[in-house]
Structure formats: structure tokens, C-alpha cells
A and B are shown apart, each in its own frame.
Chain A
Amino acid sequence: MTEVLRLELPLWQVPLLLLLPLVLLGMAIYALRRSLRQRSVPGEEPDWSVPSLEEAAGHSLFHRWEVRCKLVSLLLYAFAVASLQQLGPALAALGLSLLALLLARTPLPRALMRLLALSGFLTMFMIVMPLSAALRPGDTLVVFAGLEWLEFNLRGLQLAATIAAKGAAIALLSEPLLATAPLPVTLQGLSRLGAPEMVGQMVLLSHRYLHVFRQEALRMAGGMQVRGFRKRTDLPTFHAVANFLGMLFVRSFERTERVFEAMQARGYQGRMPAPLATSLRSTDWLLGGVWLLLGLLLVIFDRWVG
């Protein structure tokens, strides 16, 4: 089939086919936000005398998996998912990620947060790609009577949906990948796989001090606000913001020096103490093999469908 198929729909279907999905998407995002906010209301204080990972999820398949094997297998699998080109295999990958999420028993709100962070970006794809996809033989165009200049390419929509499914699949997979072992253990695993140790240390310290710098920035912003500062598009605003950023940088720099001194004072000589070394067991290899096989099957399925 080489011709372009044009589907002309009556104008009254514009709200039904275009606006309704957008409204539904907006409502879903709103409901998700609301649900997350409600879920974040703490009940009782968790028991901090035991490791929180064990407390929350016990020992799932992913928690028991040796970290190096898990990193290599899931990262290779993620590359396989990223290489998919068809909607069907991408949806299958999304299904597998959901299954992995259930097996890992990591907190659902955090996974939803990741999806929420992606949602704006993916929604933009869903809107822009049907309008901007290059016309090819065999494409189907949807036009509305009276709005003939507005052509929706269904191939573009399918492409956008494929990208969205792949993005969501990989985003959801990051939970079983990163949230089933303490961060230092994961970084140590990366280091043992050959990643520079200094990078791991920097990530670890950044993760810790991001909260501190954020709190400092919020307090300083409050300090400006109570003296009447409001953001405007004028020179004094740029001047004040530059001062704010400069001061934040100076304070962060000074803190960095103090943290380094505190580490040195407790015997730090350039290397963080390594967590307990782990050894690979046959089950780790087996799990790794299964995930790589799943990735391979997805790629074959994708090429076969294509």
C-alpha cells in the first residue's frame, strides 16, 4: 500500500478525539498528584532500628540479587528496550516492568512519582508528533471537516506512543534496579564493575548534601521574601538573584571544605570504607540470564513484527 489514506471526521468529533484524551490525561495526573500527597501523610514513625529496605520489602527477588549482576543485566535489558521500534513490543516491555515492580515490592508512590516526572515530556510527544511526523506512503491522516489544514498523522501518534511506552518501561525498571539495595552498595557495585570510584563518592555525597543545600536555599529565599523581594523581569531582580546565587555558592563551597575536613579528621584518606564484599551465586547468574533472554526476545519480537 503506497497511498496516503485520509480519514475525514465531522467537526463535532474534535472535542471527543482530541480534547477528551488531553482532559483525561490532565485528570489522571491531577489524581496521581493528589493521591501521592495523601500517601505522603505519615502515619506512625517507621522503625528505624532496622534497615528500611528490609522493613519495607523484606527479601524480594531483586533485593537478594547480587548488585553487579543486577546492574549489568538490567542495564543491558534497558538498552534492548530502548532499541525497540514497534508499539507491541514496547507495550510488552512496559508490562514486564510492571511485573518487575510488583516482584520488587518497592513503594508504589515513588514509582508513580517517576512516571509523573516523565508525564509532561511524554504528553508533549503525544501532541507534537502526530502533527509533525513526515508524511510517508501508507500513512493515515485524520482531518476534521472545516479544519483541513490540521492533519493528524496516526503513524506519528503510534511513534509517540512507542516512545512513551519505552520511556515508562525504563523509568519503572529503575525502581527494581536502584531501590532494592542501599545507595552505597549500588555505587560500590558500579565501582567494582570499573566505574571511577571518585564518581561514586561524589554521587554519594551529593545525595546526602542535596537536602542540606536545598534547605539552605529555601531559608535564604525566605530571608529575601520577608524583606520584600519579589521576582520581576528587571535589572534589580537579576542583581538580587545573582547575589543570592553567589552567596549560595560561597556557603556551599565553605561547607564542602568543612565536610572534607570532617572526613579527614575521622581518618578518610581518599577512599570510602567498602561495604561487605558479595560473591556471585548461581541464582544470580540465572536471574541475569533470564533478563537478558527477555531483552533478546523483545528485540526479536520487535524485528519480527516490523
Chain B
Amino acid sequence: MHDLKRQAQLPATDSALFAARGLCHRYPDGTLALDHIDLTLAAGDRLALVGHNGSGKTTLVKQLCGLLQPTHGEVYYQGKLLRGDYLQRSRLEIGLLFQDPDDQLFGHTVLEDVAFGPRNQGLSQPLAEQAAKRALQQVGLLELAYKAPHNLSFGQKKRAALAGLLAMNPAVLILDEPTANLDPRQQELFLELLREFPGTLICISHDLILLYQLCNRALVLEAGQVHHDYSLQELVSQRQALREHGLDFSFRFVTAPVATPLAEATPLPASASGSQPAPESTPLITLADYHFHYPDGTQALRGIDLSIRSGEHLAIVGENGAGKSTLLSCLLGLRQGKGAFEFDGQRVGRRQRQALWRQVGLVFQNCADQLFCASVAEEVGFGLRQIGLPVPEVEGRVATALARVRLQGFEQRVPLHLSGGERKRLALACVLAMQPRLLILDEPTAGLDPQGEELLLEILRGLDVTLLLVSHDMFFVGELTRRTLVMHQGELVRDLATAEFLQDEGLAALNGLSFTYRQRSSSAIRELQHAHEHSHRHRHLHDHLHRHGELVHSHPHEHEHEHSHRFVHSHSDAPRPQHDHQHPPQPQMHQHEHPDHADTPHDHEH
């Protein structure tokens, strides 16, 4: 068991920006979300707030900005109790960025929305607009100042929401999953903006690689209590603690996709699960010169030529807005474009399009969009009942699908009350129960914690089905697919082996998929995890001035004593890897500085 509640060096309470004392919060349904939290935060701290879903992170930040009142305990901001008029005034200095920017952009235009906070701070309209324009300039959206928020892309909305906070010149920024659902280029842009923020930062995220770049202190919550409070470097270097809190993303280091040499990359598409598609068989899906444009005239797909063989595992990558989702909705029969579309050698016309749901299954990016029933069993059986299967077969398939996604025993649970990871697996079960010939996964890792990601990866690795993965997550692309299609502005610009794609940094960067900062952070974290100190006795051979009676001279001589050594080592894939590692060979005799006792009197044999 790892050490609990080891405290970082905390600032004194009187100089603290935030202080929570014995903070408890119980929701009206009786759930105890926070249980005696003691926390002190100094101005300038950059705090990562991590833990399982439901551990109390969001409740804690809502307490810190006064959106919730504590059931017991107090919250202090700049030494004063956060209540009443003082709370109203403090809110104008504490910015809270919501996970979904649509919750936060309620203005008629972007400018009006960004100026909302400064107006509430008491600025006149012209001054508030000036502040808003400065903030929009900062996030690179000044040219869209008068656009309606609902017409912005997701990344633009996120930046506009941040501008709404920056315009208030806040002392504290609280961020809830700031980079969720952003493509890597947008993530990097966002990260730059947050790095430049000079105030105090509190960030909730499951993405430790992002947090490693952004924060210097980590607070790990578990069941409403503080389990750890220490530096972020300490957090990421302790795999045991990470694993127990569902945060261990080290599985991403075990089989790095980039390790596959180019020479081994399969020139022809092949199944990642080992089942090779028959090269001569009729393709499962064929698109030829396929176009699609929306009623507003936006050309979403331009001349797509695509062939997917049965058993293949392939990925589609591309920046946000490249046309990936439109292509998926055409493959599902939700939209119909112009051009040739064949499924299993049969032309897909209007009638066949309406029956594609029996053959093609999609797990949505936001799985809440496909969950609407009152119980898990009803949810999984929904599609099966639409087919008209007899009840015993429906029940059998539901049980099998739930077992495949490790949700046995969840049959009577309400889907709405499941955690993010459980809901994602439920959505997968709904699709698997239909036994589709083509399984499509749209951003399967979005919103999952590392533990959920690892479990999902394990489940997906075990599936024997034609798989089409749409993702910005290059690790999942590398792990699950052997062929990658690169989309850009509605066109398929490349069709190549995944290993080849992952080694082509230029191609990745061109399509907004640059993941260099993630690789950089991953390497640093990996090194931290694989470096630690041991103390054991060593003999040292060294040379320093010393005195023998009247004689002062210098010559090499030996000492034996105990001190720590720092090791960098490799782990095996065992479940508790830190117990199983090897150190590089250490010399029995070595030499280094002894500043503490080099000149102290000592005696030894010549």
C-alpha cells in the first residue's frame, strides 16, 4: 500500500489564497461527496486535481468558487470566509472553465459573451468590450468576435470560453478537463495559453501528460478524501499510487506503437488481431468517387475512394472538421452522398441504406447520445428487439455482450447513473449484441480515465470483427490497427500502413495530429517512473588531502559507507512491476565527491 496523505510543503494559512478546513459536502440524495477536506493553496500554485470519476473533484472546485455551500466546514479565500457579499465579489476573481463550452457560451455573439464577465465586474460597455477584445486577441479569435457561439467549431468554442475568463483578469483559473475532445493541435494551442497564465491554476483532468506540462502540485482525491498531496513529479513517478487511483497510464509505454520499424510495416492492410483478410474476397465496403455536401453547401466529402476488406482493422485520422464523422454517417446509412457505395458487393441504394444498421455498428464519441433506456439490459436489447428476435435469444445475446465488456451484474442499473467508462462499455455492448460485420469506434478514449482506457483496450484487442477506428489517440491507433487512412478537408489524402504513418511526423503534423508534446512528456514521465533511489553500502576509492601527524599528502584510498544511488531501470509487464526490475550493474568501487567529509580528520591504513 502506498503512503497516504503525505503533505507537500504547504504555505502558512495566513498567506494562503485558498484554505479549506474540515470541508464536507453531502448532496440532497445523501451522497457524501467531500469528507473532511483540509487544503491550503498559495497564490501561484498550479494544482492538478486527480482521482477516479466520482471522487469529489468537481464538487471540490464548486466549493472553491462558491457554487456549492459546504454542509460542514469552511472555505476561505484570501483569508476571509467565502460567503455572502464577499463570495459575490470573489467570484469575479475566480474563473471556472467548464468541460462543455456550450454550457458557458450563452451570449448572442462571441464578443458579447466574453464581455459578460467584465460587465459584471462593473466595467462600462466600451471598456468591457475592450477587455473582451484583448482576451479574444490572446486566444486568436478576434476575427470571429461577432460570430454566434453556436456557429463556432468545438476548439473555437473552448478558446472563446477561456477568453470569457481571461477577460476578467482572474487571480485563479479552475479548469475542468480543458483539453477533452480537442485534436492534438488544438490541445497544444490550449496548453500554450494556459502556460502563459500567470495566476493560480487548478486543473481537473485524467490526462496526466497534460497535467505534467501544466502543474507542479497534485492532489489525489478518493471517495471524497485527500489521499495524496504532493508534487506532480512525485505523483507520476509512483506507479503504485497511480494504479490504485485509476490513473496509471503506463500501459501506453509498454508497447509503444512507434517501435515498429518501417521495414516491418505491412504494405497491404492486415488485421491487427492476427486474422488476415482474404486478399481475393469481395471487399466488405467499397466507396468510389463518393461526394457529400450539406444543405448549407459545405462540401464535406470529396471524391472518396475506399475499400475495406472483411477482418481488417483500420483507422481514420484527421483534424477536427476533416470529414471523418460525415464519412461514418454515410457508412452507417444516416446520410447519402453521391457516388458508388457497395456493401459486400451489393450496391447500396435507398432501401439497402435503411438496412445497413443490421451490418454496421457505431460507438458514438459521446456515448450519452446513444443511451436512452431505463435499464442496462433494456438498452443492450433495444436493437435486438428492433430486429424482432425471440425473447430467449435477446436475453442470451444481452448476457454475452455484457460479459464481453465486463458489465455482468449491471443489468438493472440505470445507464444515466453509470460512470463515463462504464457508459462507454455499455455503448460497446449495445453494438456488439447486434453482431455487426463492421464495428466503428468514434474517439473511444474521449473522457475516459486511464484505467477505463486500459480496460477498453483489453476488450477491443479481444474482438474478432472488422474494425474502423476514428481517433486522435495515436497509441490506440497504433495498438488496434494496421492500416491508416488520413483525411484532410474532405479528401482521403493517404492510405498507408499504420506503422508507416506513425513514423511520418511531417504527415501527422500536416493534419493537426502533431503529438510531439505528448511524446516529450511521456518520455520525461517514463524516465521519472523508472528512476528511483536505493541505499546500500559501497566502497569508495578516492583521493583527497589528509594528514598523518605532520605529514599532509594526497593519495587514493578506500572508504566503505552507505548512501543512496539513483537508478534508471526497465520494468517487466507484470501486474506489480515495481517489484520486478533490474538495475544496471554497479561497480563495487567508485569515485565521487565527498564534500561533507573530505577534509575531516580520519585515519586509514597505507
Contact = CB atoms under 8 A, between A and B. Distances in A.
Interface of A: 37, 40-42, 47-52, 182-184, 204-205, 207-209, 211-212, 216, 219-220, 222-230, 236, 240, 243-244, 246-247, 250-251, 255, 258-259, 261-269, 273, 275-276
Contacts of B116: 263, 266, 268, 273
Contacts of A223: 364, 369-372
B283 to A, nearest CB: 21
B119 to A, nearest CB: 3
B120 A227 contact: no
Nearest to A204: B108
Given A223-B369, A269-B120, 20 more contacts: A42-B296, A42-B298, A48-B145, A49-B142, A51-B109, A51-B146, A52-B146, A182-B109, A216-B369, A223-B372, A230-B386, A247-B371, A259-B104, A261-B62, A261-B67, A266-B91, A268-B116, A273-B119, A273-B120, A273-B128
Contacts, number: 154
Given A49-B146, A265-B94, A266-B164, A183 B108 contact: yes
Nearest to A247: B372
Contact of B372 (A42, A243, A261): A243
Contacts of A240: 372, 382
17 contacts: A41-B297, A48-B145, A212-B150, A219-B366, A222-B329, A223-B371, A226-B362, A228-B357, A228-B358, A240-B382, A243-B373, A246-B372, A258-B98, A258-B103, A266-B95, A266-B164, A276-B125
B149 interface: yes
A40 B372 CA distance: 34
A284 B115 CA distance: 29
Interface residues of B, number: 70
A266 B115 CA distance: 10
B591 to A, nearest CB: 59
Given A208-B150, A225-B334, A262 B369 contact: no
B120 A268 contact: yes
Interface string B106-120: 111100100111011
B139 to A, nearest CB: 14
A118 B487 CA distance: 43
Nearest to A246: B372
A51 B109 CA distance: 9
Name which of A48, A52, A220, A268 has the most chain B CB atoms within 10 A of its CB. A48
B413 interface: no
Contacts of A268: 116, 120
Contacts of B125: 273, 275-276
Contacts of B119: 273
B147 interface: yes
A243 to B, nearest CB: 5
B372 A224 contact: yes
A236 B142 CA distance: 50
A49 B144 contact: yes
Contacts of A184: 108, 112
B430 interface: yes
Contacts of B372: 220, 223-224, 240, 243-244, 246-247
B96 A265 contact: yes
DSSP class of A's interface residues: helix, strand, loop or mixed? helix
A37 B295 contact: yes
B510 interface: no
A48 B102 CA distance: 19
A276 B124 CA distance: 9
B117 A266 contact: yes
A258 B102 CA distance: 10
- What are the 7 A-B residue pairs with the smallest beta carbon separation, nearest first? A267-B120, A41-B297, A228-B386, A273-B119, A223-B370, A227-B383, A48-B147
Interface string B284-319: 000000000001111000000000000000000000
Interface in B119-162: 119-121, 125, 128, 142-147, 149-150
Given A222-B334, A243-B373, A261-B62, A250 B416 contact: yes
Contacts of B434: 227-228
B387 interface: yes
Contact of B369 (A37, A220, A228): A220
A226 B332 contact: yes
A269 B92 CA distance: 12
Interface in B331-375: 332-334, 354, 357-358, 360-362, 364, 366, 368-374
Contacts of A212: 102, 150
Contacts of A209: 106
B50 to A, nearest CB: 22
A245 to B, nearest CB: 9
Given A48-B147, A226-B334, A219 B369 contact: yes
B144 A227 contact: no
Contacts of A243: 372-374
Contacts of A183: 108
A265 B63 CA distance: 11
B308 to A, nearest CB: 18
A41 B91 contact: no
Contacts of A204: 108
Interface string B83-101: 0000010011011101010
Contacts of B590: none
Contacts of A205: 106
B88 A267 contact: yes
Contacts of B386: 227-230
